[in-house]
Amino acid sequence: MTVFLVGAGPGDPGLLTVRGAEVLRRADVVVFDRLVAPALLDLIPAEAHRIDRAPLDQDEINALLIAHGRTGALVVRLKGGDPFVFGRGGEEAEALAAAGVPFEVVPGISSAIAVPAYAGIPVTHRGVSTSFTVVTGHTRHAVDKDVDWSAVAAAAGTIVVLMGFGHRQLIAQRLLAAGRAPHTPVAVIAGGTRNDQRTVRTTLAALADVDVDPPVLMVIGEVAAIDLGWFTARPLFGRTVVVTRARDQASGLAEHLNRLGASVLEVPTIDVADPADGGAALRKAAANLASYDWVVVASANAAGRLLACVRDARAFGPAKVAAVGPGTADVLADGGVVADAVPAEALATALVEEIGPGPGRVLLPRAAVGRRELPDGLRAAGWTVDVVEAYRTVPVRPAESVRSAVAGADAVTFTSSSTVTNFVAALGVVAGPKVVAIGPVTAQTALDEGMAVDAVADPHTVEGLVAAVGSVL
């Protein structure tokens, strides 16, 4: 196999290249940098060996890559930004080549370009700057010996300084001494491309007075006065939203929130497990779908589990299909099954009314523990109902340290009654964040648990939930 030197980009996980994601998903061993976005680590196969390079020096990293590369494993060296832009990727490539270990470079988006872009600063701009210079100020030696500041200052374009904030006063002095004007605009960008990004505008003469937390990039030159801000203008930028959905379902909701600028804190309080019988009853029912008048699917989880048991939509035969809400209907549609009935409100009473009176047979695949309204309502309407366990929800205990993080969030979202009850069982009723529920049943459970509900999604979908979050923040 090959050792892949992969650029992870500057922070926003969405900036990982398609090729980078592809090799990361197939990796056997991943050696990663501290600043790599945690969401990228979720792409790594569960069985892969993960190695944090933080305690290792460069020689140790080189030796590690060579040793694992010689085993025939697919090894990924995941580096912030681009491997060959102040990332020591060249040194690692040289070591692998000298050892006879094959390697491939997967370029990444450099922070030198991406971070200014996220701050609304074009590093080149017609009539303002036709070139840019990228330098590092990581060490005092780099500032004093490795960079010809006279040459940098003489270049008329933009100067982008990586890893130099700790030596900002000295860098400013060097540029001023080399002829740059004291009033030269400077943009100091902290946490670039992340949801806590902050930009401070100043001048070269006042640069030493700026105080922000790293990681920091500095843009020096006339373009630093340009403010085409778009990233921080998103409606939920700077807000933290808690997602309590099961981990394997949280990504869709988190993606919607991230797109609007929110920082997402995933605190899954439930996990979805196989039925107690391993799915035997569900498989048996799936083999006889055509014998039912209606197949009523009570959740997206139930829809996915049921579809996994059938070859294709023909298995339903003449049976009609009902979905409790649009989210469930979407899962069915992805499997080639268009629901015949989807109530305007994701409520048991609305679904029973949509189906109408019996007699006839109804199959109801659902969670092992569910509310009684739907099966009882169908039976009261004259239907014979076969309730089949499609999955179980099991509680997940968040780490104790999560409590303070949740208390400091702006909003917490709940997508089902079980997420509410398990959240309260694990963390109690946390005061502070706004409470947003996906539907009235979930909202009522939250009220019963002693929470004040600030918003209920309408429609009762992930998109509706995101809109409800926006309405209270």
Report pLDDT digits (tens) over 258-301.
999 999 988 888 788 899 999 999 999 999 999 999 999 988 88
Output the pLDDT for position 39: 85
pLDDT bracket for residue 396 (50, 70, 90): confident
My answer on whether 103 and 148 are in the same domain is: no
pLDDT bracket for residue 395 (50, 70, 90): confident
Q: The domain containing residue 56 runs over which residues?
A: 3-108
Per-residue pLDDT tens over the stretch 344-384? 877 888 899 999 998 999 999 999 888 889 999 999 999 99
- Asked whether residue 207 is domain-assigned, the answer is yes
User: pTM of the predicted model, to two decimals?
Assistant: 0.78
pLDDT bracket for residue 143 (50, 70, 90): confident
Which one of 56, 90, 108 terminates a domain?
A: 108
My answer on whether 296 and 378 are in the same domain is: yes
Mean pLDDT of 122-143: 90
My answer on whether 260 and 280 are in the same domain is: no
My answer on whether 467 and 400 are in the same domain is: yes
My answer on whether 174 and 205 are in the same domain is: yes
User: How many Å is the maximal CA-CA distance in the chain?
Assistant: 91
What proportion of the chain, given as a percentage, has pLDDT over 70? 99
Output the pLDDT for position 267: 87
Which one of 371, 395, 419 terminates a domain?
A: 395
- Asked whether residue 344 is domain-assigned, the answer is yes
pLDDT bracket for residue 403 (50, 70, 90): confident
My answer on whether 104 and 169 are in the same domain is: no
CATH code for the domain in which residue 94 is found: 3.40.1010.10
My answer on whether 119 and 212 are in the same domain is: yes
Q: How many domains does the chain have?
A: 4
My answer on whether 355 and 400 are in the same domain is: no
My answer on whether 278 and 339 are in the same domain is: yes
Mean pLDDT of 235-250: 82
CATH code for the domain in which residue 457 is found: 3.40.50.10090
Which one of 373, 395, 417 terminates a domain?
A: 395
What residues does 322 pair with on adjacent strands?
296, 341
What proportion of the chain, given as a percentage, has pLDDT over 90? 75
